[in-house]
Amino acid sequence: MSSKLFVGLMSGTSVDGVDAVLADFSVEPCRAMARTHVAFAPELRDELNALQRSGADEVHRGSLAANALMDGCATAVAGVLSAAGCHARDIAAIGLHGQTIRHRPDLGYTTQLANPARLAEATGITVVADFRSRDVAAGGQGAPLVPAFHAAVFALPDRHRIVLNIGGIANVTDLPPGGPVRGFDTGPGNTIMDAWCERHSGQPYDRNGAWGGGGRAIPELLRMLRAEPYFALPPPKSTGRDRFHLRWLAKYLKASYSPRDVQRTLIALTAQSIVAAIDEHCAGASEVLVCGGGAQNTVLMHELEAALAPRRLSTTAAHGIAINEVEALAFAWLAREAIAGRPGNLPTVTGARGPRVLGAVFHA
């Protein structure tokens, strides 16, 4: 395809909505021409969260939820096209992540809820979807996939960088100069914090960490949470809401704990699990670039900055890409690689047997 314009769509483990970016790859490394966010309707958000667990009539409910998700994605695509003054004919392809409802690479599967055929029909644009399953079939974790994009846009020949994405789940990409790119999920990011905040404050997330920041971390609770076996596993590894959720948290709670103190403890858990992973597996890094919604949590960022010193902490925005654009841009990039027939995974990250072209193509 001659067009260098791709749309990336990302709906992550925070289950708050769809981020869309119109990416221009005619410039190096790329630029976001337009961005929009389409929030999930409350009933769709509730259903997507419910589908994370086994339940009645899952196939029917999942199919209807996928259709509703695609309608939201179509709205997001229309939004970025309008903002950039572009038309469907100008776009080479859409990279569609879908909504992860199961992630079990240990059992040989991962499921991202989507109906790419419906999106292709609605937009008149070729859609590339189902990026993770080929890597899993090749023995990999199927995640994280974004490190390949991180390497393309943030790696430097003379500086050891880490890219830290704090979405629903936190993950790191290690970019040593001249060395192999590595990456893995460190553990919970925002997903448990958001759910706990919503349950006890009615707000979908803890803006700037202000609510949790007013509490005090509970040492005994933090110790029990940090004992989760996932944290001790060596990379490559990936995780999700299958493991880290409110039911997992509830096993360790006492009635005497105040909700605000629990929230402060969850902030500490996210920070400490990230720092421990970097200390153990990313030795020698001098700079950490943060993206994702967690970069807006002031309390979390202050805790990370103190614990990661003397490493320099900044956000990806300081290096040309807004914190809420990185993952959607990555799936635009993965769509471009798929259309070109180039591998999109990094075996050093996912543990796959080798490089693989990722994604299934639904032509317009």
**Same structural domain for residues 159 and 109?**
no
Element (H, E) at 119: helix 116-123
Same domain, 305 and 332: no
Are both 53 and 156 inside the same structural domain?
A: no
Q: Reduce the DSSP state of residue 161 to 3 states and report it.
A: strand
Ramachandran angles phi, psi of 81, nearest 5°: -65, -45
Please list the pLDDT of the chain residue by residue as tens digits (364 residues): 568 999 999 998 888 999 999 999 998 889 999 999 999 999 999 999 999 999 999 999 999 999 999 999 999 999 999 999 999 999 999 999 999 999 999 999 999 999 999 999 999 999 999 999 999 999 999 999 999 999 999 999 999 999 999 999 999 999 999 889 999 999 999 999 999 999 999 999 999 999 999 999 999 999 999 999 999 999 999 999 889 999 999 999 999 999 999 999 999 999 999 999 999 999 899 999 999 999 999 999 999 999 999 999 999 999 999 999 999 999 999 999 999 999 999 999 999 999 999 999 999 9
Count of domains observed in the chain: 2
Indicate if 354 and 313 belong to the same structural domain. no
Regarding whether 34 and 177 lie in a shared domain, the answer is no
**What SS3 class is residue 147?**
helix
Phi first, then psi: give them for residue 242, nearest 5 degrees.
-60, -30
Under 8 Å between Cβ of 322 and 342: no
| CATH number of the structural domain spanning residue 155 | 3.30.420.40
Residue 199: domain span: 147-319
Question: What is the number of residues in the chain?
Answer: 364
Residues 185 and 117 occupy one common structural domain: no
Backbone angle region of 284, left / alpha / beta, with phi > 0 → left and psi within -120 to 50 → alpha: left
pTM for the structure as a whole: 0.92
Do 352 and 245 reside in the same domain of the chain?
Answer: no
Sheet with 182-188: strands ordered across: 182-188, 169-175, 161-166, 287-291, 312-315
CB 31 within 8 A of CB 22: no
- Cα dist from 287 to 147, 197, 309, whole Å: 16, 31, 10
- Is residue 227 located within the same domain as residue 242? yes
